[in-house]
Amino acid sequence: MKKTVFLSLLLTFQILVTKAQDVTGILGAFPPELELLKSKMQNKKDTVIAKISFSKGILNGRSIVLAQTGIGKVNAAIATTIMIEHFKPREIVFSGIAGGINPALFPGDIVIGTKVTYHDYGAIEDGGMLYRPTKNPYTMQENPVTFNCDSALIQKAISVAPKLKFSKVKRENGSFFPTITKGIIVTGDVFVSSETATQRLRKDLDAAATEMEGAAVAQTCYQQDVPFLIIRSLSDNANSKAGSDMMSFYNIAAENAATLVIAVVGKK
């Protein structure tokens, strides 16, 4: 009996401690997307849970937990779910690169996600792609077709961005500081390198950028009631030059996205 009571009290204590934790979760798909974040962390402690590596520590004065999702929607959903289950973050921010869809944007520019949606979920018909909502597997209710990023986190990103010192991006016509804009980010399990595809995504979804993880993170957070924000810096314009441009702009894009994320995390 005493043992049962003790275990019950211990469980209650653990739940209270977990709920009391004030942690921001940060995710990225590739190692370079996390390098700057890891280098700025203090009191870093690494752990592996269900074959996902997590780093917990302090970033810009804030308690965070950091994890690499790997590429694609399934990997992103797995890492997000494990992070929510084990660390109970109050919010999750994704930092990474993307392909540009908005023709006004160029490699190195940054998109603060306002909304996130899948561009490959639904039905392909003779007339084109029919975008459909996902469903909550527990309630069987439809999710929104487009997931809204957290308005408070968006505002934090907008407010801190003008004060930051981003790295200049060297393009064919000179060196430029990145343009910071808000926009819709679309997600699919494909690397987009097609002008035809970018035109469709712009026309159908008013997309600013395309990537391979964001909507999976968004859906997981939405179904688990966790606020989220997706921040992406463009490595390419998702056209026929996307592959070569990505190799050229990958590191600078990842660094600039992380620079904004660090500032958002530290913003009170």
Q: Which residue has the tokens 């804009």?
A: 181
| C-alpha angle 241-247-250 in degrees, rounded to nearest 5 | 110
| Phi-psi category of residue 110: left, alpha or beta, with phi > 0 → left and psi -120 to 50 → alpha | beta
The one catalytic residue among 211, 236, 245, 255: 236
Pairing mode, strands 62-68 and 24-28:
parallel
Question: What's the CA gap between 136 and 188, in Å, rounded?
Answer: 19
Query: Residue 209, SS3?
Result: strand
Q: Which of 33, 211, 213, 255 is catalytic?
A: 33
Q: Which helix (H) or strand (E) holds 173?
A: none
First to last CA, the chain: 46
CA distances in angstroms from 20 to 16, 17, 90, 225, listed in the order given: 6, 5, 10, 17
Does the annotation count 33 as an active-site position? yes
Among the listed residues 36, 180, 201, the one whose alpha carbon sits nearest the alpha carbon of residue 108: 180
Determine which helix (DSSP H) or strand (DSSP E) holds 85, and give its type and residue range: helix 73-87
**Active-site residue, 35 included:** no
DSSP 30-84: SHHHHHHHHHH-EEEEEEEETTEEEEEEEETTEEEEEEE--SSHHHHHHHHHHHH
Q: Distance (Å, rounded) from C-alpha 209 to C-alpha 238?
A: 9
Active site residues: 33, 236
